[in-house]
Amino acid sequence: MVPSISLIAAVTALSAIANGALVRVSDFGKNPTNLQMNIYVPTKLADKPPVILALHPCGGTGEQFAQMTKYNSLSDSKGFITIFPSTKKDNNCWEVNTSKGLSRDAGGDNEGLSNMVKYTLKKYNADETKVFVTGSSSGCMMTNVMLATYPDLFNAASCYSGVAAGCLAGSPGASPQSADPTCANGKVVKTSAEWAAQVKAMYPGFNGTYPRMATWHGTADTFVNYPNLAEQLKEWSGLLGVTFAKNVTNTPQSGYTQMVYGDGTKLLGYSCQGVGHTVPVHENDDLKWFGL
């Protein structure tokens, strides 16, 4: 039987959206909070491709974050896969405040996100040693949480204008409309050891190495206030066993200061002078940090 022209066209169209376009994936495994998964697979996919999980800010969607950033165009030349999920609850803000959302495999947004990554690794024979997470604002908050609750899944992270994992613990919500403002106002202050202990309690018994982190924050941020940068750096310096080494001014651009911990391979902070909420995404710097 000769296939009809309409059938051939449909198959051609389907193959066209499978690679080189953002595609919705409906069945990627356990999804306790009903997240949406969108995935971008470049036409020229690398052998054993790296995977980036990219998390939108409050009020946003995965589709919008894909349009806001340059990860997809960069993946076309480098061959990595990008996952752009969406949450539809609490003003489209990620669940970084509840006990289940701050625990491993306990039914929070983080569990659904981890299953998106695991699905992608299996379906595309992706490289388990090159899995990364990034995000802006609420997406940065969830980036911190993903490293805390699934440290064995990721290799590194870079995020913008967020807060330390656990900063919003116990808040009635995670959005500007529903959250206790203490965290966003930069008033949750702990020692490095206290932050590290809080993170370790999110995944008890984990004895491995936590992923590398680079985190960016604007000094003029009055929405998620600038002191949250210091709290993130205290948290990850304790978990990664590194201490502050030096500042490198005007890096990667004028007015930005790179804050180097240890030898600079495990933890970096970026203080962005005069920048409000949020710091613009620096995709090329992210990929350099990821080693891509």
Report, as residue numbers or ranges, the catalytic residues. 137
Task: Give backbone dihedrals phi and psi of 151, rounded to 5 degrees, phi first.
Answer: -65, -20
**DSSP letter, residue 82:** E
Give 64's contacts (C-beta < 8 A, 6+ positions apart). 56
**DSSP letter, residue 60:** -
The dihedral formed by the CA atoms of 284, 92, 101 and 183, expressed in degrees to the nearest 10: 80
First to last CA, the chain: 47
Assign residue 123 a region (left: φ > 0; alpha: ψ between -120 and 50; beta: otherwise). Answer: alpha
Which tokens sit at 122?
A: 């299996």
Which tokens sit at 43?
A: 């036409």
Contact (CB, 8 A) for 109 and 33? yes
The residue type found at 91 is N
The residue type found at 262 is G
Angle, alpha carbons 92-98-99 (nearest 5°): 150
Q: What residues pair up with 248 in beta bridges, in sequence order?
A: 258
- The count of other CB atoms within 10 Å of the CB of residue 195 is 26
